[in-house]
Amino acid sequence: MENTLRLLYALQQVDLQLQEIHELKGDLPAVVAELEAKVNEMTSRLKELEKTVKQSKVERDKADSDIVTLAEKAEKYKGQQLQVKNNKQYDALTKEIELAQERSIKLQKDMELLEGRMQLAKTDAVVVATQLEEISVDYDERKKELKEVNKEHEKEELKFRHEREKLLARIKKEDFDRYERIQRAKGGTAVVPVKRGACGGCFSRVPPQKMLEIRQNTKLFMCEHCGRILVSDQVAEKSPAL
């Protein structure tokens, strides 16, 4: 049992170190992730707008050339009307001319809509591109900052993570589960030494009889007030050094 207590106390020390590193980084990792998501979102929005501009232009140009073709057709029909032999043929050509004119009017309207859509997308694209540029500068700066902070603590972090893996391999699952449960409930500290007759977590007095039992290191004792695992000074001092 003394071994289990030592391992749990050592795990607690490692976790506190990792927590400290995590706190040093502050909200930087979250900020960088958020900026990255924004950059990606705006980049795809910009692509979408550029695609709209391109497509509208192609469709507009097509309508434009169709109008020219229709006008040519109408002129041709008008020429044919001068040579027809009867009213029936004349009327048939009149109908064709009218159809070409109607179609042309419809295409004019389409062109206006496409032109409007293109201009709107162009304007939006300029706005998005400007925002994207600003946010990209911010993103790059923050990313660089985070990289530096990570680099600064990388070795330490790796060392502690490795240490943690080694400890976990030696701690029974049920003990670790209990540790983790208390750790989560108590915001990080699950194992504390008894100091001057008081719990090292909540500073409540530990009864003398219990102190004696804790010193024997024969079982897991919880603080009656905060529920943290209590270890003796002896265990805390002789814990696998970090």
Q: Which residue has the tokens 């004019």?
A: 108
Classify 188 as helix, strand or coil: coil
Phi, psi angles (nearest 5°) of residue 186: -105, 15
Of the pair 113, 202, the CB lying nearest Zn ion is at: 202
Task: Pick between residue 46 and residue 223 the one whose CB is nearest to Zn ion.
Answer: 223
Give the integer Cα–Cα distance in Å for 140 and 147. 10
State the nearest-atom distance from the C-beta of 25 to Zn ion, in Å: 29
Q: Please tell me whether residue 201 binds Zn ion under the rule CB under 5 A.
A: yes
Which amino acid, 70? Answer: L
Taking the C-alpha atoms of residue 52 and residue 125, their distance in angstroms, rounded to an integer, is: 10
187: burial class by Cβ within 10 Å (0-12, 13-18, 19+)? exposed
DSSP letter for 191, please. Answer: E
List the end-to-end C-alpha distance of the chain, in Å, as a whole number: 21
Q: Interface with Zn ion by CB under 5 A: which range of 6-14, 76-84, 145-153, 196-204?
A: 196-204
Tell me, by CB under 5 A, how many residues bind Zn ion.
6
Determine the Cα–Cα distance for residues 131 and 32; give it in Å rounded to an integer: 17
Q: Which is nearer to Zn ion, 15 or 163 (CB)?
A: 15
By CB under 5 A, residue 231 contacts Zn ion: no
Residue 236 neighbours by CB under 8 Å, 6+ apart = 9, 193
By beta-carbon proximity to Zn ion, the closer residue of 193 and 201 is 201
Considering only CA atoms, which of 163, 216, 125, 138 is closest in space to residue 7? Answer: 163
Q: Which of 118, 182, 223, 229 binds Zn ion (CB under 5 A)?
A: 223
Only segment of 90-98, 117-125, 155-163, 200-208 that touches Zn ion (CB under 5 A): 200-208
Whole-number minimum distance, CB 211 to Zn ion, in Å?
A: 13
Q: Which of 14, 199, 206, 236 binds Zn ion (CB under 5 A)?
A: 199
Q: Which is nearer to Zn ion, 77 or 221 (CB)?
A: 221
Q: Is 202 one of the binding residues for Zn ion (CB under 5 A)? A: yes
Count other C-beta atoms under 10 Å from residue 3's C-beta: 11
Q: With CB under 5 A as the contact rule, which of the stretches 46-54, 98-106, 110-118, 222-230 interacts with Zn ion?
A: 222-230
Question: Which segment (7-15, 86-94, 107-115, 215-223) binds Zn ion by CB under 5 A?
Answer: 215-223
Site of interaction with Zn ion (CB under 5 A): 199, 201-202, 223, 225-226
